[in-house]
Amino acid sequence: MAGDGPNLECRMFNGPREDATRIGSPGVVRRQAVDISPLRRVNLEIYLLTIGARESAFMNIKTIFEGLGDELINAAKGSSNK
C-alpha cells in the first residue's frame, strides 16, 4: 500500500461499517444494527466527501476543487478537521 495515493487510503477507512434499520409494526418500532454492503459504503463515502467539499467552497474564495482536495487529504489522514 505504500506509494498509493490518498484516494485509496481514504476509501479504505472512511465508509461507515454499520447502520440502523427500523424493525416492527407501525406504532412499535425498534432500531436494529445491520452491516452495510461494500457498495453502499463507497456510495456514502463519495456522498459525504462531495457534501464536505461543497460546504467548504460555499460563499468562500476557495474553489470546490480545492475543497475536494482538502477533504481527500483529511480523509486519508483520518483527520476530521474542517
Which pLDDT value is given to residue 4?
A: 61
pLDDT, residue 28, reads 84
Let me know if residue 26 belongs to a domain.
yes
Q: Which pLDDT belongs to residue 50?
A: 87
Structural domain tally of the chain? 1
> The CATH number of the domain where 56 resides is what?
1.10.455.10
Instruction: Check residue 78 and give its pLDDT.
Output: 73
Report if residue 28 sits inside a domain: yes
> Distance (Å, rounded) from C-alpha 33 to C-alpha 20?
4
pLDDT at 1 over 60: no
Tell me the pLDDT tens digit for each residue of 11-69: 656 667 777 778 888 888 888 888 888 788 888 888 888 898 898 889 989 898 888 88
Is 48 a member of any domain?
A: yes
Domain-embedded: residue 39: yes
Q: Is residue 12 in some structural domain?
A: yes
* Domain membership of residue 58 as a residue range: 6-77
The H or E element containing residue 71 is: helix 64-77
Inside any domain, residue 33: yes
pTM above 0.75, yes or no: no
**Contact present, 65 and 49 (Cβ < 8 Å):** no
- The larger pLDDT score, comparing residue 82 to residue 36, is at 36
CA–CA separation, 78 vs 57, rounded Å?
21
